[in-house]
Every structure is written in C-alpha cells, then in structure tokens.
Structure 1
Amino acid sequence: MRDYFDLTGKVAIITGGHSWLGYDMACVLAEYGCSIIIASRTEEKIKNATDNIKKQYGVETKYIVFDQTSSDECQRMAEEAESWKNHIDILINNAGGGSGISECDFLNRSQKDITAVITSNLIGSLLCTQAVGRYMVKRRYGKIINIGSIAGIVGRDRRIYTKNNKMQQPVDYAAAKAGVIGMTRDLAAYFAPYNVHVNSISPGGFYKNEPKGFVDDYSNLTPQNRMGTMGKDIKGAALFLASDASDYVTGHNLVVDGGFSTTK
C-alpha cells in the first residue's frame, strides 16, 4: 500500500497554501515526494512558504501570484503551472476564507461583503477548476480536492461566539461552502469520463489561538472533545484524496471534524 501513497513525480497546485490548513496539505504532499506549486495573491507569503517546503522536504517548489476571482488570472496561473513540468496532477482549491474583519451579523451584513465571500470561496474554486481541469482532461488524469467546511452541512449555534466575544461566522460563508460541496458532486460526474477525480474535504474547527472560553465551548459540542490540530489532522485526508489510494473515490465529501457534525 505504500506505493499507492507515493507522489514522486507528481505536481500539485495548492491555492492559498502559504498558511494554516493549506500549508499543512502542501507539506504532506511534499513529504510524499510531490513537487509543490503554491498560488495566492501575496508574493512574500507564498515565496516564504515554498522556500520552507523546499528546504524541509527536498522537493522542487514554485509560487505563482494570481487572483482566483478572475477567470483570466486563473487561466494564466494554470498555463504557468503547466509549463513548469508539462503536467498538473493535483489541484487543491483551498483559497477563500471567512469573514475577514467586517460586520458578520446577517441582518447587518453588507452586500459587498456577502458577494466577496461567495466570490472568493465558490466562484474562485470553480474558475480554478475550469482552468486547471482543461489540462487534466487532455492528459486524462487528475485529482481535484475542494475545501468545503462543516459550515456547508450544519447550521451554527452562534451563542458560543457572542458569549466569548468572538466574531461570528457569516451566513454567506456557509452558503459558499455548501456550494463547494454541491459543485464537487457534479464536477465529479462531469470529469469521471476523463479519469479526473473530484472530492472535497470539509474541516471542522481547527485551533488558531481562539479564546479559551470559545475553545472549551466548541470542544464540548464535539464528540472527540477537542478542536482540530494544525500540522496534523488534515494531512491524512489530503494525502488520501491526492494519491492513487483514492482511485475509486470521486464525488465524496470527507468530513474532518472530530464528530462535530454527527451530533446535531
């Protein structure tokens, strides 16, 4: 089975792969021999990330600065990635994000902020998949992993946010991530004749230095009684879906949440 997880000779694009879960996924693919392209808007961050991965894992790395909300930019990114090694094997649509620093309460949230979140998380993933998918179809091989969220499958009790003075998750983020999960299923059917697999990972809450009260409340709602651990808990799911070990898996949403969504 070790051979099924070996990614030597493969090339992966991870959008937004310079930090947090994106970086973790880039690292695990690199650990198993994959050449890594990190694509995002901020050159300094993605350059540092690719330099660190190259140094730590000894694989070839590249960074591409682009804006995934633009179809032209996505096409340029895909062309640059393809020209690097003449093939793209894996795409992880990780770029997006949540609320930022704007007003998150639904009744007070602006249309501009709603549109920005949906465009970044949903439209951006579609545009990247379209651009990179063209090359995968030509080669009749590809693994596409879309990053969803448990926000796309369960509602959120915002009392633990207000109680702990933490910015709440906006409804439009949940809408975008539900769209990501839905598009994953239909893209899986669309790409199946071309041997291109499309799956999604829906993480639960991962600890990012949140207030202790919030962490305790969230953990109490989770059967495993903890939040996800950075540097660890997302890696196995990403490696499985990116590797030949998942060759008979497509259209699946792999939930990584410690059981949070099972008890609602």
Structure 2
Amino acid sequence: MDRSVFELFRLDGKVAIVTGAHAWLGYDIACAFAEAGADVIITSRNVDSIRETAAQIGEKYHVDTLALPLDQRKYENVQKMADAALAWKGHIDILVNNAGGGSGKTEGDFLKRDPADIQNLIDINLTGSVFCSKAVGAMMAKAGCGKIINIASISAFLARDRRTYHLHNKMEQPVDYAAAKGGVVGYTIDLAAVMSQYGVYVNCISPGAFDKGDQPEGYSQAYRDKVPLGRMGRFGIDIKGAALLLASPASDYMTGANIVVDGGFSIWN
C-alpha cells in the first residue's frame, strides 16, 4: 500500500518521551516531534525548569505536553517517570534517550579526574539510558510497537586530539564520556536485536559538535577547519531530520542503525 512521503513522517496520535529536553538537542527533538503531530513528554532533573518549556511547545505546535521530573541515575526514578508517562495517555510510542552531558565544570584530564565524577558521568549518560530503555521498553513490548532512539556521540568511535584543547585553553572532554557513549552505541545494536521480536525498533544518533556559542573562538575555528562542511551543527535545524526519521514510519525498515550527524567530521579524522 502506497503512502505519501509526507504521511510517512507524521506522528499524529503518537506519544513521545524526550529525556533532558529542557534545552539544546533534546529541545529541538521535542519540537520536531510536536510539529509532526506527537504529544510530547519532556523530562529534566529539575521539573521547574521544563514546565514553562513544555507549555511553550504545546502552545506553539498545538499538541499536549507534559513535564516530568527525572534523575535517571536511579532505576526507581526511571520507573516512576515511565509509569506517569503511561498513565498520561495510556501509551508510549517513542522514547528518546537524550539526557546526559559532558564533564560540566569538573576536571576533564583523565589522570587528574575524580573517580566520583567518572562514575557520575557514566551513570547519567549510559546507565540512565539503559534504565529508561528497560522501563519504557517493557511497556512498548507489551503493546507490540515502539521506537527507541538513543543519543550517543561521535566520541563513541573517534578519539580527540588533546593538543587542540590545550592550545586554546579549553577543558578536555573526559575519556569516560567516550566510554559512556561507546556503550550507548553498543547497547543500541544488541537491544535492537532483543526488541525486534516485540515490534520495537531501536536506533541511535551520534552527533558531532553543535555550536552553543560558549567555546573559545580559537577552538571553534580549529574544529570547523576539520569539518568538511566547514561549521558546527546548528541548533533548531540539524538534529531534527534524523530524529524525526527514526521516530516515524519512514524508518520502519531500520533497526540497530547509528546515524552520524557531524558535518563529515568523522570522515576526515
């Protein structure tokens, strides 16, 4: 049965969870889903920071939205969030495991790094993602359908030249971030195999650097010089297409895939 290409990318009647969606890539993904017709649940460790964001998305795209608190480092928090999400509309169709982040203001040098910071970063970026996939994935398996999208990074398969950081007085990206994101890519592949029997698709997106405007200009220029497209990713634009593809019927013959969104950075490095 033929379907129009525009219909293939619609999400009308779907309910999507996007973790860590108060800003940046998570926010863009939530907006893309809402514009395509999905009702959207967004999470953050501080629910006060996303209530206004959820309301703004709902008003702009004329969909229902819900803000839920989530510290995904503990499974009981994840299960509580998943139960609340399911109770909201009675089904969950899409899960985007976006919550995570780098070292923040902690020491990035691996040999100087506090083990507690290493554990925390891995818990947020990897363990929490696995926890969310387990809790929500069980609900999807019971329903016989669903799409799980994990946000990894090109750091999962590409080492960084630390000299560039030092030259431009920028804090290093910690090794444990690469470990966590490598784990995200690895578990995406195996989870896709596990969940296929239940009609649940599992895919991954590995972004390169996106321009938050907070990097030393020398570092930003050095990075852009290593990208075939000559720039960093653009918020509000460059992540939306890949995310919508993986969430929509347009990707119904894709599972276990990792889409790289990096302007070509990884093909030159």
Equivalent-residue separation in structure 1 for 2:43 and 2:25 (angstroms)? 14
For 2:134, the aligned partner's letter is Q
TM-score by length of 1: 0.99
1:188 matched to 2:192? The reply is yes
Match of 1:258 in 2: 263
1:178 matched to 2:190? The reply is no
Tell me by how many angstroms 1:165 deviates. Answer: 1.3
Equivalent-residue separation in structure 1 for 2:59 and 2:184 (angstroms)? 33
Equivalent-residue separation in structure 2 for 1:172 and 1:106 (angstroms)? 8
Match of 2:243 in 1: 238
1:107 aligned counterpart, secondary structure: coil
Match of 1:154 in 2: 158
For 1:12, the aligned partner's letter is A
Equivalent-residue separation in structure 2 for 1:260 and 1:48 (angstroms)? 35
Tell me by how many angstroms 1:182 deviates. Answer: 0.1
Equivalent-residue separation in structure 1 for 2:162 and 2:33 (angstroms)? 35
For 1:137-148, what aligned pairs fall within 5 Å after superposition?
A: 137-148=141-152
Match of 1:73 in 2: 77
Alpha-carbon RMSD across the aligned residues, in angstroms, is 0.7
Tell me by how many angstroms 1:110 deviates. Answer: 1.1
For 2:188, the aligned partner's letter is T
Match of 2:230 in 1: 225
Equivalent-residue separation in structure 2 for 1:24 and 1:163 (angstroms)? 32
1:233 aligned counterpart, secondary structure: coil
Match of 1:3 in 2: 7
TM-score by length of 2: 0.97
Tell me by how many angstroms 1:45 deviates. Answer: 1.4
Tell me by how many angstroms 1:161 deviates. Answer: 1.4
Unaligned runs of at least 5 residues, structure 2: none
Equivalent-residue separation in structure 2 for 1:257 and 1:82 (angstroms)? 34
> Percent same amino acid among aligned pairs?
54
1:96 aligned counterpart, secondary structure: coil
Equivalent-residue separation in structure 1 for 2:52 and 2:168 (angstroms)? 34
Equivalent-residue separation in structure 2 for 1:60 and 1:32 (angstroms)? 13
2:79 aligned counterpart, secondary structure: helix
Equivalent-residue separation in structure 2 for 1:101 and 1:212 (angstroms)? 19
For 1:9-24, what aligned pairs fall within 5 Å after superposition?
A: 9-24=13-28
2:92 aligned counterpart, secondary structure: coil
Tell me by how many angstroms 1:27 deviates. Answer: 0.3
